[in-house]
Chains A and B, each alone.
Chain A
Amino acid sequence: MSAPEPRLFGARVPRVEDDRLLKGQGRFVADLDFAGSLYAKFVRSDESSSDIFDFDVGKALACEKVRAVFTGDDFAGAEIRCVSAYEGFQTSSQPILATDRTRFAGEAVAMVVAEDEYAAEDAAEDVFFSVLPLEPVAGLDDALGDGREPVHAGWTGHAFVRRSMATGGFERVAGSAAHRVTIELRNARHGAIPMEGRACVARYDRGSGLFELWTTTQIPHLIRAGLADALGVAESRIRVISPDVGGGFGVKAQLYPEEVACCLAARELDRPVKWVEDRREHFFASHHSREHRHQVTGYFDDDGVLTALEADIAVDMGAYSVFPWTSTMDCGMAMGILPGPYRVQEYSVTGTAYCTNKAPYGAYRGVARPAACFSIERLIDRIAKHRGIDRAEVRRRNLIGPGDYPWHSPSGLVYDSGSLPESLDKVLEASGYDRLLADQALARAEGRLFGIGLAVFTEQTAHTTREFQQRGVPIVFGYETAKVRLDATGTAVVSASIHDHGQGLETTLAQIAADRLGLRLEDIRVEYGDTDQVAYGAGTFASRSAVLAGGAVVKAADAVGDTLRQVAAHRLEASPADIVIGQNRLSVSGSPGAFIETAELCRLVYQRPESLPRGVEPILEASRTYDADPGTGVYTNAAHLASVEVDPLTGKTIVLSYAIVEDCGPMINPTIVEGQIFGGVAQGIGTALFEEFVYDDEARLLTSTFSDYLIPTMTDIPDFAVDHLETPSPHTIGGLKGMGEGGAIAPGAAIASAIEDALSPVGDAVVAELPLTPERVLALLNRAQQQGDQR
């Protein structure tokens, strides 16, 4: 069977979802208005670690329009647990509402439900309880010491888990290396911060015992699985629907207590219960990310070739293990990907996921890879400095080359393909590197601090069964599902287990389906986000959706196409093998006059079953799964180049230019790919320069508005230069690789490199901490001056 000619694959078609979003006709969870809805407001703890007791909800309950006030004991039967299979893992149990102990500032302790949001918010101020603050594990400094009680009773020490691994030759190679450098690196805790916060509406139908949860999630089926556990209800009694979602980036890829609480309240009160997070709650209680400390030692020869790598990784995972990832995700990812794009073969690493009295820690675009990229790229820059080699040249000497694939990394990953040296060379071109060097020379002659920075990375994407089996997670995220159904008018509905919250999958999956079914883009409707539509699937995260859902759509569409061919062959008195699908018709190869319109054929299948050949059922529908075998992931790579200017008086850094060359294999829609990259890079610039959740010594969060937690605005971000390489994966349908996260991985490293370069005429100051706020840059400038004075 020959595949139809691709027509829409690779085309820069405008997105099909845009019209409704541009007209204000999107349907977001906060827009839903079910008859009889009640509105929830959560009362949250101001303290991190505290004993709470003597609840008094009488005054709140007496408020006008208030229908119920729940406290921890009301929901004591439910909890969120996510236990890793890793040996020695210490687990946590997250209550839906804290009962007698709070473990992070912002943890919900009571839920007020009223007839409107204003009444609920008013009454929330009338919930009283006594608080006895305890000495918290306020962060990694406390967790690394031994003076504090563990966050959870019965624990030994503060680690969820500690793991180590080393290659057999590490000691020998490291011991005999000509040179070594060690750096300590810090990445501040920050988060995804989508413009839409979280929200949910729960409905319970007493007659059928069915829960229906509308929620802002990237992972509807996994939320159903988590709810089934938390509620003690069969999955057949739960429907999770995630409609239009205003950005996710990982923070909406965990089960949250508020979702469980709204379900329980809806059942108790027999009314829909709606909750819309406010921005302050989002800062306090939506999951945080990115907080890593690494100590990294590189062993290398006279030519700057890295021969062995040693790392100690610590991640502050906050108070609870999150569903469905557990609290091991960031640490494990960092341990695995730290060697990055380099040919180093010997590796020794220890990684520890710590439990502290901060907000729980979940996924954020890139998951640990920004920190890993920061560490290895900073190390490579130090090696360049140590050996007096150009930063691009030292990378060329170490990068995995085109002949090295499949590359078996020393951490056990298998890189399938890539174009690392080519992407590096190409980014020098795309950035106008020679002109930048000229600009830099001019700036330095004027005494201005102008720097150029570089970062290269490879990213594991669309990893499935084999990879997640090794990660000790309770649910192995192995595949995605797609269902394709042709109707009697010859148009198709594609249902997918992934979710689209801005990535354009509604369009790219339609492009794929239209090509396979020989239809036009407008003949395809893509739906997602409803657990009743397809059997199972993990959802959208880990740069997997285009690869896995795309593959599943190809398989399902081809299965439907096979049925079409059989029926068409019967009608046209030809062999199914000779039937060609395309241009809204099925025709006999080599006989242009012998064809039947797809719409006509579909009508026959459904409405004239007597016209079907024997053995063919009157249904044009197929569900298929796709797991991108062998499941070890497909590797996207990119090189980023930034130029910056640092103001020596204020320490403020301005990003002057930013160039990206990326390789995600064949692109379904290059415009959408570029949008994903630009968005990721802007978030990475936030990581590099602005974003930080600041806690005080008692683990109380100090940054709770957009005036003290800064995300990049339009004037903070330059125009981008972008170019592509398209190295197909040998593993996947269409050679596709994932690319949703990549943009966010390298900016921290590239901008740190640029700032270090900018300061270099003053002196050598190792840039090893993000974000590079004006305060930190001034401290670096100070250090550079002292170093320069000694020189």
Chain B
Amino acid sequence: MEVNGRAVTTEVDGRMLLSDFLRGVIGLTGTHVGCEHGYCGSCTVLIDGASARSCLMLAAQANGSMVSTVEGLADGEQLSIVQQAFKSCHGLQCGFCTPGLLMAVSEMAAETASSPSRDLIREQLAGNLCRCTGYHQIVDAVEQALGSTSRGPR
């Protein structure tokens, strides 16, 4: 598979979860595991551009795919637009659910017309649980990142 643009070739047990592979085998611990049963969304990664719960998927199922994780978002020190918006709007607190949210928002950014309403943002991201923020400032961040508000730099 290709992870964040780098080819990864290795053998794994058939039952190894993708989340365990990313975290334990190739050391990408930015993907967090919050519930192991597909509800919380903390472990969300993109598989060929589509969001997936890495805790509900076997590593072997990603064979031949392009996998994107939070580690691939920033350009060196430079935060991506979505990351910068989360920082500007205080869209994170403990930061545990954040990588999954960032990946879900990245997918949304690619698929949704610009300037989504706050209701649409909430609907589309309702599969990612956050216990710290109360969501308001996450919605602010997504609004900013997806261009529906001129507040802050894009």
Contact = CB atoms under 8 A, between A and B. Distances in A.
Contacts of B129: 195, 706, 711, 713
Interface string A736-762: 000000010000000000000000000
A195 B137 CA distance: 17
Contacts of A33: 24, 27
A246 B95 contact: yes
Given A23-B70, A193-B131, A714-B139, A30 B33 contact: yes
A24 B30 contact: yes
Contacts of A245: 94
A31 interface: yes
B93 interface: yes
Task: Identify the interface centre among A194, A196, A677, A720: most chain B CB within 10 Å of its CB.
Answer: A196
A681 B96 CA distance: 19
B87 A14 contact: yes
B74 to A, nearest CB: 5
Interface in A18-36: 18-19, 21-28, 30-31, 33
A226 interface: no
Contacts of A279: 34-37, 40
Contacts of A22: 70, 73-74, 79, 83, 86-87, 92, 95, 98, 102
Contacts of A249: 131
Given A23-B71, A714-B135, A714-B138, A504 B93 contact: yes
Interface string A671-693: 11011011111110000000000
A331 B109 CA distance: 49
Given A279-B37, A679-B134, A683-B131, A24 B28 contact: yes
Given A23-B71, A683-B131, A720-B136, A196 B32 contact: yes
Secondary structure dominating the interface of A = loop
B61 interface: no
How many of chain B's residues touch chain A, expressed as a range?
35 or more
A359 B36 CA distance: 22
A194 B102 CA distance: 18
A706 B40 contact: yes
B29 A246 contact: no
Contact of B32 (A19, A246, A672, A713): A246
Interface residues of A, number: 57
A719 B36 CA distance: 29
Contact of A743 (B39, B128, B134, B137): B134
25 contacts: A14-B87, A22-B79, A22-B98, A24-B71, A26-B95, A26-B96, A28-B32, A28-B96, A30-B32, A117-B20, A192-B131, A196-B32, A197-B34, A246-B34, A246-B94, A247-B132, A249-B131, A278-B36, A675-B90, A679-B134, A681-B134, A713-B127, A714-B121, A715-B123, A743-B134
Interface of B: 13, 15-16, 20, 23-24, 27-37, 39-40, 42, 69-71, 73-74, 79, 83, 86-88, 90, 92-99, 102, 118, 121-123, 125-139
